[in-house]
Amino acid sequence: MSAHQVRPYGSSVTAETSSTENTGASPSAGHIGIQQYEIRVKGRLGRHWTAWFDGLSLTDEGDGITVIRGQVVDQAALHGLLQKLRDVGIPLVSLTQLPPDAPIHPGGK
Residue 46 included in any domain = yes
Q: Examine the pLDDT at 2 and tell me if it is beyond 90.
A: no
CA dihedral sign, ordered 49, 50, 51, 56: positive
At 49, phi and psi to the nearest 5? Answer: -75, -15
Strand partners, 67: 40, 59
Higher pLDDT among residues 82 and 4, named by residue: 82
Strand arrangement, sheet containing 35-42: 57-60, 65-72, 35-42, 92-98
pTM of the entire predicted model: 0.65
User: Does residue 23 sit within a domain?
Assistant: no
Q: Would you say residue 105 lies in a domain?
A: yes
Residue 77 has pLDDT above 80, yes or no: yes
| Better-scored residue on pLDDT, 107 or 49 | 49
Residue from 82, 41, 86 nearest 65 by CA = 41
Q: Per the structure, how many domains does the chain have?
A: 1
Residue 3, in any domain of the structure: no
Q: 21 vs 11, 13, 24, 71, CA distance in Å?
A: 16, 10, 5, 21
Residue 104 covered by a domain: yes
Encode pLDDT of 22-37 as tens digits.
334 334 344 567 899 9
Domain containing 83 equals 34-109
Q: Is the pLDDT of residue 96 over 50?
A: yes
The answer to the question of residue 78 being in a domain is yes
Q: Are 61 and 19 in contact (CB under 8 A)?
A: no
Q: Are 69 and 45 in contact (CB under 8 A)?
A: no
19 located within any domain: no
Mean pLDDT (the chain) is: 74
CATH number for the domain that contains residue 92:
3.30.70
